[in-house]
Amino acid sequence: MENRKEILKQGFEAAGIALTEAQTAAFLRYAELLEEWNAKMNLTAITEFPEVVRKHFADSVYPFMLGRIGTEQTLIDVGTGAGFPGIPLKIMFPGLKITLIDALNKRVRFLEEVIRELDLKLIRAVHGRAEDLARDRDFRERYDLAAARAVAPLPVLAEYCLPFVRKGGRFLAYKSDQIEEELAGAANALKILGARENGSLYYVLPGTEAGRSLLVLEKERNTPALYPRKAGTASKKPL
C-alpha cells in the first residue's frame, strides 16, 4: 500500500497537483474498489495502477487545475462508466454538485458503493439513458456543466450532453489531441443544439507524451425540444 501511495502522489505531482491525505486515501480506496469490481464485470481495460493514476485519475482532473473552469457548480457526467471524470473531480473539488449517469445498472451499483465507501457528499449515481433523462424536467437544462469522456464522435456527444446544460453553461468533451477535423465536422450539430466552442484547452497529459483536448462548448441558446432524438438515432444519423 505504501508503494501505491507513492505512485499515486508522484502521478499527481507530475501534473503539479499536491494531494491531501484525505484525497490520497480516497483515491487509493477508489482504486481498490475498481479492481474488485473489475474482476466481476468490465469497468475498464486500464488495470495497471500507475496507468489508472495517469490515464483515469489525473486525466479527469488536470483540465480543471488549469484554472478556467469553476469548481462550485453543478455538473452532470454523461455515460460515466466507472466514474470518470465525475468521481475524481468530486474527490478533488468537494464543492462541485455532481450527477453521474450510466445506462448499465451494474455500473450504477458500483458507483453507489464508491460514493458510500468514500463518504462523498452532494453526488449521486442515476441509472438511465441520456436520451431519456434529458427529456425529464428534473434534468433538462439544469446543469452548469456537462462532461463526457466517452469515445464517440462530437456531434453524437453534443446531442447527448447539451440538452442537460442550462443557457450560459458549458459542455466539456474530453478528447485526444486530434480534434480540429472533428470540431469542424460538428459545426452543424452545435448550431442546431445552441452552442459554440469557447475556451477549449489543449495540453499534454503530464507524465506521458499523450496529447489531450478539453473541448469547451458554451450553450448560447436553449436546445430545441426535438433533441435528443430517441435512442440510437444520434449515432445512426448524426447531425
Q: In the predicted model, is pLDDT for residue 210 greater than 90?
A: no
Q: Does residue 236 sit within a domain? A: no
Cell of 147: 462532461
Q: Which of 77, 26, 30 is nearest to 52 (CA)?
A: 30
Phi-psi region at 199: left, alpha or beta (left = phi > 0; alpha = psi -120 to 50): left
- Mean pLDDT to the nearest integer, 151-161: 92
Q: Does residue 163 sit within a domain? A: yes
CATH number of the domain encompassing residue 201: 3.40.50.150
pLDDT at residue number 201: 86
Q: Does residue 201 sit within a domain? A: yes
Q: Does residue 9 sit within a domain? A: yes
Q: Does residue 228 sit within a domain? A: no
CA 222 to CA 234: how far, in whole Å? 18
Q: Does residue 33 sit within a domain? A: yes
User: pLDDT band for position 67 (50/70/90)?
Assistant: low
Q: Does residue 239 sit within a domain? A: no
User: pLDDT band for position 76 (50/70/90)?
Assistant: very high
Would you give the DSSP letter of residue 104?
Answer: -
CA 196 to CA 187: how far, in whole Å? 8
* Average pLDDT of every residue of the chain: 93
The residue segments making up the domain with residue 107 are 2-220
Alpha helix segments (H runs only) across 93-153: 105-118, 130-133
Q: Does residue 194 sit within a domain? A: yes
Q: Looking at the whole model, is its pTM more than 0.85?
A: yes
